[in-house]
Structure 1
């Protein structure tokens, strides 16, 4: 890959892509629309003498002379004006994940869906590591695939959390096993319509062929219907609400696998450290992926019993004066936040609000079901959420100027036996760099009470 390549974005994905291209002998033009960035600081991220030039601010057609490929970081909308200009020149457009896949070796399990991706990817990765020697867990979970692509061998198994933003720029991306966990409204500020969002999620299967596997949630009507259209690849369903003639399902307190002839008990849910029905679905998906990647059942069973919740996803923080605090900063849309409320063991004071992704909050408010004692709102969406809550007859609402004040308000109003839950139902942007920073700050504020 010794051609001249434009890399758009100087965040972690863009830097990873640029380094991968340079290591393959390429010449890189690194572009960012923020003209205030310091080229000298950017240079420090690369080896001395690297064949890289920097373009900051406006990208001109002359900057594309000799460029044979463009790599977009996931956060860049594919309809951005400069991307349209690149497209008009006929230069192929890839994403960082697609680039890394093109350079990597071995087998791939790829996981997408609106909610549950991080937990399922982390658990699947731990299962794989219990059996295979060379395993990488990459993607939207935090580590760009491009950082590890050249470390892979024919024996490597890569487990990737794949966002809809990443799927927009895939060309020949081809996982051996794919999984779509669920589809509910999210990122409509980017995808504009649910139809576009659904089509983007389902495109994870577009290059799969006979011998490949797709794991789908039977209780998601969109995915159940989609599964019926997949003729060449094997479809494996999981369900938390009914028994299936074939697949994985929750039967009373046990997760069961039916191969079409007999049932095999995988685990009793009371032996898991993960809370809530949505996590039982995540476990079923991880088990289905792992079995179809060749991991023996006894290895799978050992790992799923030991696995703890990932950071920022219904993560128990601490107990103060009889009140338990939970960090669900990863609950960045109403459906994810609904799952966190359902998982709470008792009366809850809920901290919510943040960046407006054009979500609707009605169903989320309805899910409170008498469990939420107070709703403490912060961020750009707080008025929108408050109005929605009042329409649904929920009036125990308080405002806070920031997350620190919200934690203090909850500590003042909580009774022993209550839970305080940060599950914003909104993105973190505007107040925080990302949901991880928001979650870390929440834990810091709680521990300083």
Structure 2
């Protein structure tokens, strides 16, 4: 059996290692450059690879192909594989049959990283032998090859879900839905939503699906579609029968008539959206029979995700916040909504078909100045130029932070919440976030 791996990054190399261990003939091909440390690992494991090209003769004879999530379906090599009916799957799909571990799959437009990290944190504190994988941490396939976890908490993007056939999470979570990555879904929001709901397509009546009760699109999906899984939900507006809700300034979570409760002001994470993330993680923990005391302690001592509303420094009474992971309008909406005082907003990058209208009321109310950090900022100018007093363009993070410092006064906040992808000026959102933090520390 020949396994071809497209993409020599974390998920690609992990899949190659697992494939080799399971007796596949493996070949790794990357159209870009493979990082030196990954080349070394492939060579040590005697796995042939190529980069900066796709040699068709070595790829089109595959029995199965694992495509890294960053490669779009419309890539020429992928089209050729599909024309020949060669299965093109995701890393999750490939690795799933090789483990008996239970998996918790978490997806959604926003909050999935925080919910995944928080769930992992609670289960680990609860003494479970648990791994963290998917979109974060070490690749799932790699861990299946080398570790023996009983449980995995997986952060799953829509791209990873597009490549599943049989994968079935024991517990699935959909945090929320808002337009994202529409450039990969022919600018059709319904295709993107269908992609997210693939997480539950193989679930049985023994499995659980946890969703946001307040989400318009999730509710619309359930009007026309069904899941076999047992559905639990969480809400900030109503008392749900099974799942999480807010009452008397407490987070409540009711599973199988067992009520967990905790004061909201004791949660480590602030903001309404994080209350929802905490409800989702709590429901998972209760289903996994983690002690209530452990859940309470974990929710109060959790250190949030890096690059997600991360407080960097306070300089001359101005708070600098790194929200580089906000790559869409909905994420930035949460960020601006949680600002309490006047805000200088650093925004921009590769626009994925954003509609900035829903940000208008928040920008009017909270934003005193905007620093555009992108190669093409025309759309941002068109949207906000008449709304704020000052708008300045730059293509350097150091300069953006210095300009923001000049605009900010005591009691203000400088917020990096780009609303866009990072690929025009940075390697990825982590690189962008780290550059922001370095620039702040150098002020």
* Contact 2:369 2:388 (8 Å CA) reproduced: no
The reply on whether 1:4 has 2:23 as its aligned counterpart is: no
The reply on whether 1:430 has 2:430 as its aligned counterpart is: no
* Contact 2:181 2:352 (8 Å CA) reproduced: yes
2:439 to 405, 427, 445: 445
Q: 1:378 to 1:66 in 2, by over 3 A?
A: closer
Q: 1:244 to 1:410 in 2, by over 3 A?
A: same
For residue 45 of structure 1, report the CA deviation from its aligned partner. Answer: 2.4
* Contact 1:27 1:52 (8 Å CA) reproduced: no
CA distance in 1, matches of 2:434, 2:382: 29
CA distance in 2, matches of 1:55, 1:409: 40
2:53 to 46, 54, 57: 57
The reply on whether 1:179 has 2:199 as its aligned counterpart is: no
1:71 to 66, 72, 84: 66
The reply on whether 1:159 has 2:156 as its aligned counterpart is: no
The reply on whether 1:203 has 2:201 as its aligned counterpart is: no
CA distance in 2, matches of 1:369, 1:252: 31
Q: 1:300 to 1:63 in 2, by over 3 A?
A: same
Which ranges in structure 1 are unaligned for 5 or more consecutive residues?
Answer: none
Deviations 1:72-130 (A, max 9, x none): 01101122111111112221111112112222221000000000011000000011112
Equivalent residue pairs, number: 441
CA distance in 1, matches of 2:351, 2:152: 34
2:185 to 185, 191, 212: 191
CA RMSD of aligned residues (A): 2.1
* Contact 1:74 1:166 (8 Å CA) reproduced: yes
Paired position in structure 1 for 2:402: 408
CA distance in 1, matches of 2:36, 2:373: 38
Q: 1:335 to 1:39 in 2, by over 3 A?
A: closer
Which ranges in structure 2 are unaligned for 5 or more consecutive residues?
Answer: none
CA distance in 2, matches of 1:429, 1:252: 44
* Stretch deviating more after TM superposition (63-72 or 137-146): 63-72
Paired position in structure 1 for 2:383: 388
Q: 1:381 to 1:211 in 2, by over 3 A?
A: farther
Q: Equivalent residue of 2:23, what SS?
A: coil
Deviations 1:226-254 (A, max 9, x none): 34643521100101222224421122421
CA distance in 1, matches of 2:300, 2:2: 49
Paired position in structure 2 for 1:121: 116
Paired position in structure 2 for 1:331: 326
1:301 to 293, 296, 311: 296
* Stretch deviating more after TM superposition (75-84 or 242-251): 242-251
1:32 to 6, 26, 30: 30
For residue 370 of structure 1, report the CA deviation from its aligned partner. Answer: 1.3
Q: 1:347 to 1:21 in 2, by over 3 A?
A: same
Q: 1:345 to 1:5 in 2, by over 3 A?
A: same
Paired position in structure 2 for 1:223: 218
The reply on whether 1:319 has 2:319 as its aligned counterpart is: no
Paired position in structure 1 for 2:246: 250
* Contact 1:354 1:431 (8 Å CA) reproduced: yes
Deviations 1:164-209 (A, max 9, x none): 0101101111100000011101001111210100000011001100
For residue 132 of structure 1, report the CA deviation from its aligned partner. Answer: 3.5
* Contact 2:331 2:419 (8 Å CA) reproduced: yes
For residue 388 of structure 1, report the CA deviation from its aligned partner. Answer: 1.0
CA distance in 2, matches of 1:38, 1:437: 17
Q: 1:156 to 1:53 in 2, by over 3 A?
A: same
For residue 323 of structure 1, report the CA deviation from its aligned partner. Answer: 0.5
The reply on whether 1:237 has 2:247 as its aligned counterpart is: no
Question: With structure 2 as the length reference, what TM-score do the two structures score?
Answer: 0.94
Deviations 1:322-359 (A, max 9, x none): 11111000111010011011112311111000112111
* Contact 1:219 1:239 (8 Å CA) reproduced: yes
Q: Equivalent residue of 1:222, what SS?
A: helix
For residue 390 of structure 1, report the CA deviation from its aligned partner. Answer: 3.5
Q: Equivalent residue of 1:368, what SS?
A: helix
1:288 to 275, 283, 290: 283
Paired position in structure 2 for 1:18: 16
Question: With structure 1 as the length reference, what TM-score do the two structures score?
Answer: 0.93
The reply on whether 1:46 has 2:66 as its aligned counterpart is: no
2:138 to 114, 136, 143: 143
CA distance in 2, matches of 1:71, 1:203: 18
* Contact 2:203 2:227 (8 Å CA) reproduced: no
CA distance in 2, matches of 1:261, 1:161: 28
